[in-house]
Amino acid sequence: MVESITKDIRELKKYALDNKVPIMLDESMDFMIDFITRNNLNKVLEIGSGIGYSSIMMALANPNLKIVTIEKDEARYLEAIKNIKKFDLENRITLIYKDALETKIEDKFDLLFIDAAKAKNKDFFNRFEKNITEGKYIITDNISFHGYVDKDDNEIESKDLRNLVIKIKDYINFLEEHDQYTTRFYKIGDGLSISQKK
Ligand code: SAM
């Protein structure tokens, strides 16, 4: 990657850290980029743009990739617009400012990337899985949720955290039992799942 792009990415990551915007971990980002490249995926729908970091990384690594990404937080959306422009990716990344659960998308995609409110993974999956072409994929990030998903529920003191972890476990069961998708779970970064549509 050219030096100026590397510097801009470093600045993007620093902004995220300074402003407490969660972005994908390096290990998961590399894994997902490699997955997209190896499987020749060309169209991605992302739920949860944040400040645009993951879409920018995916687009920079795959010159043919087109991404539609949805963000409901105004400040993050505005920051993402700025960043996508900075990297000159406006032609390949379409940003939608809306709650994904109120957004209708008609197009078909090779990959749905779910990285928004973790308690709502199943709602995002159910709303957008019809947009996935047969044989293609849904990736969900933070499936281990900082290791809490491997713990017993009553080991988690905070009620909110416990409820969130219960929802993630329920989502994992939902994926395991889904008869139209085959899912594999990866202990990479904060844990991610890849579901392939049959
Ligand atoms: N994918 C981004 C990255 O790695 O650069 C990080 C996304 S961050 C983990 C999750 C984002 O999802 C937050 O910015 C949050 O505002 C957004 N979000 C949560 N629920 C949402 C919803 N229902 N619709 C759209 N965006 C949502």
What residue spans define the domains of the chain? 2-197
pLDDT of residue 153: 87
Taking residues 61-80, report their average pLDDT: 97
Q: pLDDT tens digits for 152-196? A: 988 988 999 999 999 999 999 999 999 999 999 999 999 999 999
pLDDT value at 2 more than 80: no
Q: Which of 45, 73, 79, 168 to mutate to test the pocket of ligand 1 (most atoms within 8 A of CB)?
A: 73
Beta-bridge partner residues of 137: 111, 196
Interatomic CA distance for residues 9 and 34, integer angstroms: 18
For residue 1, the CA-to-ligand 1 centroid distance in Å is 26
Q: In the structure, what pLDDT confidence band is assigned to residue 149 with cuts at 50, 70 and 90?
A: very high
For residue 114, the CA-to-ligand 1 centroid distance in Å is 9
Interatomic CA distance for residues 104 and 18, integer angstroms: 33
Atom of ligand 1 nearest to the CA of 141: 9
**CB atoms inside a 10 Å sphere around CB 76:** 19
Q: pLDDT tens digits for 31-58? A: 999 999 999 999 999 999 999 999 999 9
pLDDT of residue 169: 97
Torsion angle defined by CA atoms of residues 7, 11, 12 and 18, in that order, rounded to the nearest 10 degrees: 160
pLDDT value at 1 more than 70: no
The dotted CATH code for 2-197 is 3.40.50.150
Interatomic CA distance for residues 143 and 79, integer angstroms: 26
Given its phi and psi angles, is residue 44 left (phi above 0), alpha (psi -120 to 50 degrees) or beta? beta
> What counts of helices (H) and strands (E) characterise the chain?
6, 7
